[in-house]
Amino acid sequence: MPGGAWEHPFMRHRLFTVLFAAALALPCAAEMLQKKSGSFIEGEVLEVTERGVRIRLMEGGEATLPFEDLDPYTVYRVRDRQAAKSGKETAVLRFDLGRYAMQNGLYDIGRADMERACKDDPSLKTEMDKVVLEVEERDGARMYEEGLAAMKASDFSTAMIRFQALVETFPASKYVEESRKSLAAAAAEIEKENARKKELLEALTKKKADGKAAKVEEGVKGKLDAAIKAYDDSRRLNAEGLEFEGNTSVSKADKSFRAAEGALIASKDLIMAVAAGSKDVEVLAAAKKLEADTDAMLVVVYGNLGHLWAVERYYKESTKWLNRALAIDPANHFATELKLQVAAQQIRRSYSPERDR
């Protein structure tokens, strides 16, 4: 079968290796014969004719295999061994073997055999040039057309293999120049294809990263919502504390104010997480505003706790909460004035027999 897998040196080398290894594994008289279908037949060669080979099968019986059904290299190998065994090899016989190899895609073997024959019989040189020219015309055209078909189908890798095989196998072919140009065009298309694949990969990677970032932002926005809720809870709890204080329920008022403080501290922790995890300008701006509102509300809550315990004349407890308010807002008028009043009461008490609380 002309051409096919044989047009690429690697494919020939690989199959020769397989056949050689298979031959080593057989008894001396047995051979492994490959059919064009790819299957193998194992047997002892009994007779080689012009049209085929008769063998004794390893499982018993005989079979006659036409050369047209066998792989070209198998046919060449059988005929080559038969010539060696006969002891009657001539330049013409070697030339005929080379011609067969050349015409059936075994280009390197074919050329080598015909050149060997021409050394023994120079008169065969004209015939050799004719065979080489015919094969170049036929197989060169086929390789070139296959390369063009592959280019048309955008199978640029196959196109490069076809054009490269033509250039390397038939350097004198009239298709070589066009094949070189097509090789360059195929290489350029492969480069473009690789660039597109790279661009697609980068886009997919970016999309994946954006997806992750979107999930992160979604989680961050969830934290911002939780921070807002905690802030709203603190306002409600602070209002409840004021209500309890008005009803002289000091312990309930203290509990509500402290709960409001806890909600505000939780809100601040969430705000910090938002600031560290988000890149969204609007989210960061909202977090910054909420942080300012939270600090302002903490000052209010601390001021209310300071007032609650000042009224109850627990001046040390009152001072503790007023100091927390002033730590956030040193200029807060309410906390500053109340602290001064508490200090004055503490001074007066220091001169009275009443125990300081």
Q: How confident is the model at residue 258 (pLDDT cuts 50, 70, 90)?
A: very high
Q: What is the pLDDT of residue 352?
A: 62
pLDDT at position 123:
95
Higher pLDDT, 354 or 112: 112
pLDDT of 17: 44
Query: pLDDT tens digits, residue range 127-146?
Result: 999 998 899 889 989 999 99
Specify the pLDDT at position 21: 46
Region 250-278 average pLDDT = 90
Q: What does the H/E/C string look like for the chain?
A: CCCHHHHCHHHHHHHHHHHHHHHHCCCCCEEEEEECCCCEEEEEEEEECCCEEEEEECCCCEEEEEHHHECHHHHHHHHHHHHHHHCCCCHHHHHHHHHHHHHCCCHHHHHHHHHHHHHHCHHHHHHHHHHHHHHHHHHHHHHHHHHHHHHHCCCHHHHHHHHHHHHHHCCCCCCHHHHHHHHHHHHHHHHHHHHHHHHHHHHHHHHHHHHHHHHHHHHHHHHHHHHHHHHHHHHHHHHHHHHHHHCCCHHHHHHHHHHHHHHHHHHHHHHHHHHHHCCCHHHHHHHHHHHHHHHHHHHHHHHHHHHHHHHCCCHHHHHHHHHHHHHHCCCCHHHHHHHHHHHHHHHHHHCCCCCCC
CA–CA dist 6, 4 (Å, integer): 5
* pLDDT for position 265: 94
**Which tens digit of pLDDT belongs to each residue from 231-241?**
999 999 999 98
Q: What value does the mean pLDDT of the chain take? A: 84
pLDDT in tens, 298-350: 999 999 998 999 888 888 899 999 999 999 999 888 888 888 888 888 888 77
Residue 199's pLDDT is 80
Give start-end residues of each CATH 1.25.40 domain in the chain. Answer: 4-192, 208-350
pLDDT band with cut points at 50, 70 and 90 for residue 87: confident
**pLDDT band at residue 248 using 50, 70 and 90 as cut-offs:** confident
**pLDDT higher than threshold 70 for residue 225:** yes
pLDDT (0 to 100) of residue 293 = 93
Q: Measured between alpha carbons, how far is 61 from 172 in angstroms, rounded to an integer?
A: 49
- The CATH number that domain 4-192 falls under is 1.25.40
- Kindly report the CATH class assigned to 208-350: mainly alpha
Percent of the chain with pLDDT over 70: 87
